[in-house]
Chain A
């Protein structure tokens, strides 16, 4: 029986973004990470090119975590008060990318100064050779104070600075250009705003090729299907030639998956849900699996066990299959 050939040819390619700079490129990284470059949907290796598999970044906080359940802390128990050693531990666990979250800069948490944040960022830089994502506290006014100092301190390292919005794109695009960093554009599960902020960044003179999209992330069971459909539409538009949406996509699995009771609840709270030490990482991993299918290129994750499960899944999904194209 003839099987109809349903393969499509998409007219455009998703942008390729490299994070990190080695010495010869003006940085001090010993490795770099490249994402994007697809000419088809996630894992459709039979149809188009998938030159760069999705990658996992493990997160490091600038302060000891304030709201993590025990199972999330355990793998890092001895380093939670030292971002440098914590980052080293992430690399030991196999992370090709480290995401430093400047939580402590949040005025409601520790209200760290820009200089303190820069000091910690440098400590992380000196502790590991992998490329870095630097994630602000999310309060736009404070991020606008912190990032100029941090971006300068990491000048030339080609970090990924997260995140800018419609409100502070001018600050971020200027910093990205001045200090040689890539940027993450954040939108609130809204494809129209996702497109708009990219146009704003381009208008401010920042190349679309240096942007990664963060469409916001929802945990498994908490609006994940809504984000999924936005990501899918974004990717389809990019492949069809919408240059303002043809970017790699980043998902923040860590903060979302570990914020829900299914991941956090202790065994004493809901005994029938089983051991949280297995349940938490599983919730995080399954959340990430869904986003892999939706088109995630970078997944920021928390638990090394979940990260490894996701990396294994990516390897399996990227492997050629019997009878498939080489």
Chain B
């Protein structure tokens, strides 16, 4: 596998789905947001995902959230919403640092509204391999949707390293047959172009309502890395997860071994803005 870039960890914690963040957004209290921004940045997040979720539909809340994170850390931001106008507000609040749009789907209408945002703001784009009919349950549907998003993004002038594809991970607790298919879809995505697009998952999906969540998450992540995955929206504060990634990077010969390879992996996590960098 030709991929050389390191795994891009996207911190999931600034999401209104968490009670403290939901409350902070409602009350415009920057405290918890800045706290989680710093904790995740220090843990080596390449991007911080920000999501106003169900708490608000107001684009101004997304703008506030982006600005609040920017005041705390220099880390690139992943603006997370299903609503194009909310995405736009988040991107427009950016201070020039790299941004990731999270997300579009393969739905024509959605592509037509979200891809121009990536062009306008020079942002990277994450595409979920689903469409107006929902999430495919097979490999083929995932690959068709992924390829459609990728083609539309390239057509609009985005380079492959500005495109992230997400094959959609399902909870192992409820849909155990899906995880091998997701792994296979990742392999297919990695063959879409050379260099390939980034391939990402919402890692915590797999352990939804399951026991041993951290173990399931890191096991899936290293298996997915072997298939070509190089990004994940996840709990970046999970030290075991980060250690497993560091070890997997050695196994894949992407990182040069040293006895203190865990320390070495923390060293490289410090670089902000490396999210979309890649040789070639």
- A residues lining the B interface (CB < 8 Å): 8-12, 191-193, 195-196, 199-200, 202-203, 233, 237, 239-245
Contact: A243 with B268, CB < 8 Å?
A: yes
Could you jot down 21 A-B contacts, CB within 8 Å?
Answer: A8-B279, A11-B274, A11-B279, A12-B277, A192-B257, A192-B258, A192-B259, A195-B256, A195-B258, A199-B263, A199-B264, A203-B263, A240-B4, A241-B6, A241-B271, A242-B264, A242-B268, A243-B271, A244-B258, A244-B267, A245-B256
10 closest A-B pairs by CB:
A11-B277, A195-B258, A196-B258, A199-B260, A192-B257, A196-B259, A8-B280, A244-B264, A237-B256, A10-B279
How many pairs of A and B residues are in contact by the CB < 8 Å rule?
53
For window 1-54 of chain B, which residues contact chain A by CB distance below 8 Å? 4, 6
Chain A residues with CB under 8 Å of B268's CB are 241-243
Contact: A191 with B279, CB < 8 Å?
A: no
Main secondary structure of the interface of B (DSSP, over half): loop
Chain A residues with CB under 8 Å of B277's CB are 11-12, 241
Minimal beta-carbon separation of B258 from chain A (angstroms): 4
B255, closest chain A residue (CB)? A242
**Contact A200:B267 (CB < 8 A) given known A9-B279, A11-B274:** no
Q: How many angstroms from the CA of A193 to the CA of B260 in the assembled complex? A: 10
Q: How many angstroms from the CA of A8 to the CA of B278 in the assembled complex? A: 10
Q: How many angstroms from the CA of A117 to the CA of B263 in the assembled complex? A: 37
Chain A residues with CB under 8 Å of B258's CB are 192-193, 195-196, 199, 244
Chain B residues with CB under 8 Å of A12's CB are 277
Q: How many angstroms from the CA of A8 to the CA of B279 in the assembled complex? A: 6
Contact: B260 with A203, CB < 8 Å?
A: yes
Contact: A196 with B260, CB < 8 Å?
A: yes
Q: How many angstroms from the CA of A196 to the CA of B256 in the assembled complex? A: 10
Contact: B260 with A240, CB < 8 Å?
A: no
Contact: A11 with B256, CB < 8 Å?
A: no
Interface string of B245-280 (1 = CB under 8 A from A): 000000000011111100110011001001001111
B6, closest chain A residue (CB)? A241
Minimal beta-carbon separation of B98 from chain A (angstroms): 12
**Contact A202:B279 (CB < 8 A) given known A195-B256, A245-B256:** no
Chain B residues with CB under 8 Å of A199's CB are 258, 260, 263-264, 267
Q: How many angstroms from the CA of A202 to the CA of B258 in the assembled complex? A: 14
B254, closest chain A residue (CB)? A240
Interface string of B162-193 (1 = CB under 8 A from A): 00000000000000000000000000000000
Chain B residues with CB under 8 Å of A200's CB are 260
Q: How many angstroms from the CA of A240 to the CA of B271 in the assembled complex? A: 13
**Contact A195:B264 (CB < 8 A) given known A241-B271, A242-B255, A244-B258:** yes
Q: How many angstroms from the CA of A192 to the CA of B280 in the assembled complex? A: 25
Contact: B256 with A233, CB < 8 Å?
A: yes
Minimal beta-carbon separation of A115 from chain B (angstroms): 36
**Contact A241:B256 (CB < 8 A) given known A195-B264, A199-B267:** no
Minimal beta-carbon separation of B161 from chain A (angstroms): 10
Q: How many angstroms from the CA of A241 to the CA of B6 in the assembled complex? A: 9
Chain B residues with CB under 8 Å of A244's CB are 258, 264, 267
Chain A residues with CB under 8 Å of B274's CB are 11, 241
- Most chain A Cβ neighbours within 10 Å, of B255, B257, B260, B277: B260
Minimal beta-carbon separation of A166 from chain B (angstroms): 9
Chain B residues with CB under 8 Å of A242's CB are 255-256, 264, 268
Minimal beta-carbon separation of B249 from chain A (angstroms): 11
Minimal beta-carbon separation of B134 from chain A (angstroms): 37
A11-B278, A191-B256, A240-B4 known; 10 other A-B pairs, CB under 8 Å?
A192-B256, A192-B259, A195-B258, A199-B264, A200-B260, A233-B256, A241-B274, A242-B268, A243-B267, A244-B264
Chain B residues with CB under 8 Å of A202's CB are 267
Chain B residues with CB under 8 Å of A233's CB are 256
Q: How many angstroms from the CA of A141 to the CA of B187 in the assembled complex? A: 54
Minimal beta-carbon separation of A199 from chain B (angstroms): 5
Minimal beta-carbon separation of A32 from chain B (angstroms): 28
Q: How many angstroms from the CA of A8 to the CA of B257 in the assembled complex? A: 25
Interface string of B48-66 (1 = CB under 8 A from A): 0000000000000000000
Q: How many angstroms from the CA of A317 to the CA of B228 in the assembled complex? A: 39
Q: How many angstroms from the CA of A203 to the CA of B264 in the assembled complex? A: 10
B277, closest chain A residue (CB)? A11
Q: How many angstroms from the CA of A241 to the CA of B263 in the assembled complex? A: 15
A199, closest chain B residue (CB)? B260
- Most chain B Cβ neighbours within 10 Å, of A11, A192, A239: A11
Minimal beta-carbon separation of A194 from chain B (angstroms): 8
Chain A residues with CB under 8 Å of B257's CB are 192, 195
- Most chain A Cβ neighbours within 10 Å, of B255, B258, B268: B258
**Contact A9:B267 (CB < 8 A) given known A196-B258, A242-B255, A244-B258:** no
Chain B residues with CB under 8 Å of A8's CB are 279-280
